[in-house]
């Protein structure tokens, strides 16, 4: 379903099938829709068998990096005598992304079920769902659903009568984009400042509370019950282009577009059909100009690139960007790219945790220079300065927030240089000038 | 803030309460009675006391509207953390208020996707019609504080705003007067 719109016939509504149906939120409603069968079945399997099903399905992480989920789980060694943890990443703060919010609002039990299966599969008795502090409604819904699941014996020391303990706790963040980075999330959960940690050690070795930990995105875990219910082969067969990209994926669509919202398609779906058919194309009298297809941290695409993209992990890379979190941001011909890139740089400057010099200084200087260009005070030397700063910010820091700030800057200068030049030579923003005229 | 390094002592907290920033009114501890029980229940969820810090700070903000230095001392005592440590954590996160704010704390998303849909105009309308004038300032009647906020994770419903704990979506400058009438 293209919530808040009716499902489009070309969508593959699996995760989003019940978006907009309040009954699906309750435990009874969820059970009527096939809920908790996959957990019941999983608790009768060995953890290794579950991991194998996930591996075969080809499911990859939906949080941004696309790491194969089964492989991630296989790094954990149940029975090693240590406490294991599963962290659910519900920090969803990447500009352009608002899909995990809908999963939690409408189908909280899908997330609980996937989380419980994941916890059992990696040998964890405790899982924490870390929800960004601003998501008050998803928080309330998730807390109510967890309570229901405990009351029904689905969670607790004898989960579904299996003899295994599975505890799930909802934990509220307090406003910090960086806490979506996996090691920052763990620090935050431990009651610390949300600074990312240097890796190694990786979370599977020493993560939350120093113990072996797996962290997964909400959408990744919500897909898990479907994989177990229908089998790895079913999931794997959902692939329209590259066999390394399987299953359905939620894309959040925002910006200058007729029908913003969430859409679920099979990976490999043609981006052109997606933009013009599912999302309804540009607003009346406008033309699309640029797309950031995977949340603000991925490179900007020109329309030429976007319209020839197949929507999967490899397809976006082949056309100059990345699938990222699936947050599709669309700009039309009324928008000034310099202004938007400057605003995104400001976002990263605000959200930098400031541990690394390149990131702390780089995000701040990038913002200052871009805002100066936007205000009409740019020079042709600024290109070199911006690109040099971007180079120093890429691949050299504790986490990739720094790289994320560089991505729109580098791709913006590469693909929309004429807009920067028009600001510099005209000594003002050409878009504001038009608006005033 | 106390210069004491080790975990806050009872005496430490007392000395704070006597020079509380809220005039002469002595600091009233938050974690007594039912709220103490709420904190105890939270502690059961984590293997360390420190992990209950963010939830404990949320309880304080819910009860008091903001997190004062005295409250930081108190929560430190409860969780065996120094006041300086607690302050370090509080200042990292944007949602804990370190000062009292207007009765209605309004946050308007102005990150790029919402900006493309006119979020800057929503901010202008909010500042003008609440009487706040400037970002971060509280309106003369003490009712409103308006700030800009980074992406609220509701970009498809531009422009989302948060009023205290609740989202209002698809706000346009035209809808601002109607929205504000709800908040007396
Ligand atoms: C700065 C930064 C912010 C991130 N924010 C999020 C987020 O909000 N949600 C999320 O799921 N992953 C986020 N990630 C990715 C996580 O670090 C991690 O890769 C992901 O949660 C793993 O889950 P997955 O394998 O299921 O995708 C972020 C990464 C970085 C570097
Ligand atoms: S890259 Fe930036 S956000 Fe990441 S750890 Fe370094 S300073 Fe912090
Ligand atoms: S950019 Fe405004 S909610 Fe995401």
Indicate yes or no: CB of B157 within 8 angstroms of CB of A260.
Answer: yes
List chain A residues with CB under 8 Å of B67.
Answer: none
- Verify cis geometry, omega within 30 degrees of 0, for the bond prior to A29: no
List chain B residues with CB under 8 Å of A134.
Answer: 95, 149, 152-153, 162
> Measured between alpha carbons, how far is B108 from B8 in angstroms, rounded to an integer?
38
Q: What is the ipTM of this complex?
A: 0.95
- pLDDT of amino acid A154: 98
Closest partner residue to B51 among A93, A189, A343, by Cβ?
A: A189
> Measured between alpha carbons, how far is B7 from B86 in angstroms, rounded to an integer?
11
Indicate yes or no: CB of B153 within 8 angstroms of CB of A101.
Answer: yes
Contact A61, A72 (CB under 8 A): yes
- pLDDT of amino acid B101: 87
Indicate yes or no: CB of B52 within 8 angstroms of CB of A188.
Answer: no
What phi-psi label fits residue A85: left (phi over 0), alpha (psi between -120 and 50 degrees) or beta?
Answer: beta
Residue B122 pLDDT more than 70? yes
Beta-carbon count within 10 A of A131 CB? 25
First to last CA, chain A: 42
**Structural Rg of chain A based on CA atoms:** 22
CA angle centred on B177, ends B176 and B178, rounded to 5°: 90
Q: Is B54 on the interface with A (CB under 8 A)?
A: yes
Indicate yes or no: CB of A95 within 8 angstroms of CB of B167.
Answer: no
> Measured between alpha carbons, how far is A92 from A100 in angstroms, rounded to an integer?
7
Each residue's pLDDT tens digit in chain A (437 positions)?
457 788 899 999 999 999 999 999 999 999 999 999 999 999 999 999 999 999 999 999 999 999 999 999 999 999 899 999 999 999 999 999 999 999 999 999 999 999 999 999 999 999 999 999 999 999 999 999 999 999 999 999 999 999 999 999 999 999 999 999 999 999 999 999 999 999 999 999 999 999 999 999 999 999 999 999 999 999 999 999 999 999 999 999 999 999 999 999 999 999 999 999 999 999 999 999 999 999 999 999 999 999 999 999 999 999 999 999 999 999 999 999 999 999 999 999 999 999 999 999 999 999 999 999 999 999 999 999 999 999 999 999 999 999 999 999 999 999 999 999 999 999 999 998 554 43
> Measured between alpha carbons, how far is B40 from B63 in angstroms, rounded to an integer?
17
Entry pTM:
0.95
CA angle centred on B3, ends B1 and B7, rounded to 5°: 90
Mutate to test the pocket of ligand 3, among B107, B112, B113, B157 (most ligand atoms within 8 A of CB): B113
Nearest partner of A316 among A276, A275, A268, A278, judged by Cα: A268
Contact A36, A113 (CB under 8 A): yes
What phi-psi label fits residue A407: left (phi over 0), alpha (psi between -120 and 50 degrees) or beta?
Answer: alpha
What helix, strand, coil percent values describe chain A, rounded to 5? 45, 15, 40
- Condensed to tens digits (0 to 9), the pLDDT of residues B59-108 reads 999 999 999 999 999 999 999 999 999 999 999 999 999 998 889 999 99
- pLDDT of amino acid A4: 73
Ligand 2 lined by A354 (C-beta under 6 Å):
yes
Contact A255, A331 (CB under 8 A): yes
Closest partner residue to A193 among B89, B162, B167, by Cβ?
A: B89
Contacts of B170 (CB under 8 A, 6+ apart): B157, B158, B159, B160
Mutate to test the pocket of ligand 1, among A54, A60, A89 (most ligand atoms within 8 A of CB): A89
Bridge partners of A302? A290
Question: Residue A84 to residues A128, A179, A223: CA-CA distances in angstroms?
Answer: 11, 20, 22
- Condensed to tens digits (0 to 9), the pLDDT of residues B20-54 reads 455 567 999 999 999 999 999 999 999 999 999 99
């Amino acid at each position: 379903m293209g919530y808040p719109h009716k499902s489009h016939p070309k969508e593959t509504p699996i995760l989003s099938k019940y978006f907009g149906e309040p009954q699906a939120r309750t435990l009874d409603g969820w059970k009527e829709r096939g809920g908790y069968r996959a957990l019941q079945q999983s608790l009768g399997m060995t953890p290794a068998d579950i991991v194998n099903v996930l591996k075969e399905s080809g499911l990859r992480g939906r949080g941004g990096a696309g790491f194969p989920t089964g492989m991630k789980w296989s790094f954990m060694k149940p029975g090693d005598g240590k406490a294991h943890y599963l962290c659910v990443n519900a920090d969803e703060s990447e500009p352009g992304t608002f899909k995990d919010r809908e999963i939690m609002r409408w189908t909280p039990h899908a997330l609980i079920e996937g989380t419980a299966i994941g916890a059992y599969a990696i040998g964890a008795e405790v899982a924490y769902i870390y929800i960004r502090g601003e998501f008050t409604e998803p928080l309330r819904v998730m807390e109510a659903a967890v309570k229901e699941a405990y009351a029904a014996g689905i969670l607790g020391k004898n989960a579904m009568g299996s003899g295994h303990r599975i505890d799930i706790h909802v934990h509220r963040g307090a406003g910090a984009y960086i806490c979506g980075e996996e090691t920052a999330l763990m620090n935050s959960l431990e009651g610390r400042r949300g600074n990312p940690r240097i890796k190694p050690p990786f979370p599977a070795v020493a993560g939350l509370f120093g113990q072996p930990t797996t962290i997964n995105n909400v959408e990744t875990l919500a897909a898990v019950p479907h994989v177990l219910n229908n089998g790895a082969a079913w999931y794997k067969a959902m692939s329209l282009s590259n066999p390394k990209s399987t299953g359905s994926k939620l894309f959040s669509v925002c910006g200058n577009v007729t029908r913003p919202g969430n859409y679920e398609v099979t990976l490999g779906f043609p981006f052109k059909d997606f933009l013009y058919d599912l999302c309804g194309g540009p607003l009346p009298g406008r033309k699309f100009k640029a797309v950031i297809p995977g949340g603000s941290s991925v490179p900007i695409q020109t329309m030429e690139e976007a319209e020839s993209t197949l929507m999967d992990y490899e397809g976006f890379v082949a056309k100059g960007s990345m699938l990222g979190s699936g947050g599709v941001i669309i700009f039309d011909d009324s928008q000034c790219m310099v202004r938007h890139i400057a605003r995104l740089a400001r976002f990263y400057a605000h959200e930098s945790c400031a541990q690394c010099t390149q990131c702390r200084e780089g995000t701040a200087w990038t913002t200052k220079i871009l805002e100066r260009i936007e205000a009409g005070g740019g020079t042709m030397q600024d290109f070199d300065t911006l690109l040099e700063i971007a180079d120093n910010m890429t691949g050299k820091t504790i986490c990739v927030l720094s790289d994320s700030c560089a991505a729109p800057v580098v791709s913006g200068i590469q693909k929309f240089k004429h807009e920067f030049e028009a600001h510099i030579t005209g000594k003002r923003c050409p878009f504001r000038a038009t608006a005033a005229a | 803030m106390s210069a004491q390094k080790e975990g806050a002592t009872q005496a430490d907290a007392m000395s704070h309460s006597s020079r509380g920033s809220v005039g002469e009114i002595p600091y009233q501890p938050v974690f007594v009675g039912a709220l103490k029980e709420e904190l105890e229940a939270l502690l059961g969820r984590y293997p360390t006391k420190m992990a209950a810090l963010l939830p404990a700070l949320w309880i304080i903000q819910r009860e008091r509207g903001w997190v004062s230095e005295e409250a930081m001392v108190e929560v430190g005592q409860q969780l065996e953390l120094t006041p300086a440590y607690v302050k370090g954590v509080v200042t990292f996160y944007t949602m804990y208020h370190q000062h009292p704010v207007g009765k209605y704390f309004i946050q308007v998303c102005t990150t790029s996707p919402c900006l493309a849909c006119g979020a800057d105009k929503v901010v202008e309308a909010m500042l003008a019609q609440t009487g706040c004038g400037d970002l971060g300032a509280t309106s003369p009647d003490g009712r409103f504080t308006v700030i800009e906020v980074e992406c609220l994770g509701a970009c498809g419903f531009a422009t989302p705003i948060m009023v205290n704990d609740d989202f209002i979506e698809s706000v346009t400058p035209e809808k601002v007067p109607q929205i504000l009438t709800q908040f007396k």
